[in-house]
Amino acid sequence: MTSQSVSPVATEAALRAKNVSVYYGSTLAVRDVNLDIFKNEITAFIGPSGCGKSTLLRCFNRTNDLIPGARVEGKAMFHGTDLYAKDIDPVYVRRRIGMVFQKPNPFTKSIYENIAFAARINGYKGDMDELVENSLRRAALWDEVKDKLRQSGLSLSGGQQQRLCIARTIAIEPEVILMDEPCSALDPISTLQIEELMKELESRYTIVIVTHNMQQASRISDRTAFFNAEATESGNKVGYLVEYGDTEKIFNDPSEQATQDYVSGRFG
Amino acid sequence: MTPLSSQAKPLDAGWDIEQKEVLNALGRRQGVDTGFSLLALSAVIFSLFVLVVLLADVLIDGVPVLSWNFLTSFPSRKAETAGIVSALVGTIWVMVLVALVTFPIGVGAGIFLEEFVPDSWLARAIEINISNLAGVPSIIYGLLGLQVFVRILFPITQGRTVLAGALTLALLVLPIVIIATREALRAIPGSLRQAGFALGATRWQVIRSHIFPLALPGILTGVILALSRAIGETAPLITIGALTYIPFLPELSLRGLQSPFTVLPIQIFNWVSRPQADFHALAAGAIIVLMVILLLMNATAIYLRNRFQK
């Protein structure tokens, strides 16, 4: 089922899902996912709504823990360590594996404080002003906000807010950034800015992005995982991984008919 | 109304209705609309009218007795020299204590129940019970206070004292504060919590820095509304045996907590139940003072809400 084509430069797997199934209460949401996410690459999860791609994404930094009734079976691993082992603190997991959400969610504080909060709670020892400036520069937002750092993060436009959320995430230098449809609430120009930003961040971070936008997946990602959903007897939809491989192969020469149909826009 | 220019024959014969007919029906529908708004307006006028009559009655009776002497004299058998100082000071003592007890306990319990407890049958059972407690008649709290604070905890409260009264009222309004706190917290979008968690913050860090400050105006409003409820309560304090004739003020120290006390509603109740009309006027005066305190408290709630919302 999973055809994993080998990329020219084989890199280390940062994240690995081994037979991962996620339940919400007694309902199975996504079943038996096996896949490796490689370091310093952008991996895209695509597929129709309800196929479990966001659910799987949230497994990797244990944000599923915050949803009542959610349960993960199988192994989600980070550099070989089981993220759900008893001695792993989810707070520490999230500090190493950051997340950017679908809807920009800056704190209701100043732009400066949005970034300083993350650094402060994680024990940053350097010069805060410098960190704020550098993070905003790396998120390509500095020039737009340098004169209004004390203004509320909510005073920015949607695209700027999302870049502020990215700045805040990279300020604490996680290893992995999970992005759950980060551009779905943004206009095309802001989307393009975020995509360019992701390309620049790729050299330092491992990025996993869930997207409904297939052009976006093909433009920015190195590898693509296509998920689909099938209805069970009880009428629920269960998601599963159909095919995973180099983005070029998934879009131009997929092994599965369902992938071919989806990427060519015949369904979904 | 003039019909608009005619249009093409409709696809569905069911829409083949004369424009005149449509407009007539519309006229009837608008009539019902006006009728309903008039009905709603009369409900407003009725309730305002009752309130205005009450206020006017109290003001006519009470304003003449308001004076500096009225505020600073102790109660007396002679209406001309009687005042409310012991009730006024007692009310202030009790309200300050109720606030000091309910704010930390009520807000703490609210935060715990809303943010820390996972959803389970136990949590839901507690929630239902707290809502029920908010509706228990206040006299029941009086009986509870009599047994627990006046009798069992006598070594601490010294019986029918300021402390026992304040603790009884605190119990009475705790459910209101807990519910208000939970509602204020629930109104803060979950995306903010997720944002904090995704940056490696602990639950307390997220609440402390992002959730609590946003919920504070709502919490404060709830606390002050709860205090407004407590300030008018009479039954539980009569039950625990607050006195009606207090010719001294509680000492301004910890010992003052163990002093007998009275409060404005009890003083009003006492004066109203006397046969002489002079005392009824005094009761009206005390009602005005109580209303002014209540208005001040609500004004504070609104001021704090607007201030923190910025």
ipTM of the complex: 0.88
Rounded to two decimals, what is the model's pTM? 0.83
Q: Note the pLDDT tens digit of each residue in B158-198.
A: 888 899 999 999 999 999 999 999 999 999 999 999 999 99
pLDDT tens per residue across span A80-102: 899 999 999 999 999 999 999 99
**Chain-chain contact of B198 with A101 (C-beta, under 8 angstroms):** yes
Contact B199 A98 (CB under 8 A): yes
- Best of B115, B192, B199 to disrupt the A interface (most A CBs within 10 Å) is B199
Give me the phi and psi of A75, to 5 degrees please.
-120, 130
What does the DSSP 8-state code read for residue B15?
Answer: G
Under 8 Å CB pairs connecting chains A and B tally to 68
Give the C-alpha separation, B239 to A163, whole Å.
62
In this prediction, residue A78 carries a pLDDT of 94
Question: Which residues of chain B neighbour A165 with C-beta distances below 8 Å?
Answer: 195
Cβ–Cβ of A107/B192 closer than 8 Å?
A: yes
pLDDT tens-place string over residues A106-119: 999 999 999 999 99
Question: Which residue bears the tokens 């959320």?
Answer: A165
Q: Which of A101, A117, A118 sits opposite B191 (nearest CB)?
A: A101
For the segment A211-236, the average pLDDT, to the nearest whole number, is: 90
Residue B109 contacts residue B180 (beta carbons within 8 Å): no
A91: chain B residues, CB-CB within 8 Å: 197, 200-202
- Those residues of chain B that have pLDDT short of 70 are 1, 6, 310
User: Tokens standing for A80?
Assistant: 């070989």
For residues B186 and B127, what is the distance between their CA atoms, to the nearest angstrom? Answer: 14
How far is the alpha carbon of B119 from chain A, nearest alpha carbon, in Å? Answer: 7
* Residue B74 CB burial class (10 angstroms; 0-12, 13-18, ≥19): middle
B183 CA: distance to closest CA in chain A (Å): 19
Give the pLDDT score at A6: 46
Helix (H, G, I), strand (E, B) or coil at A41: coil
Q: What is the model's pLDDT at position A110?
A: 95
Average pLDDT over chain A, rounded to whole? 90
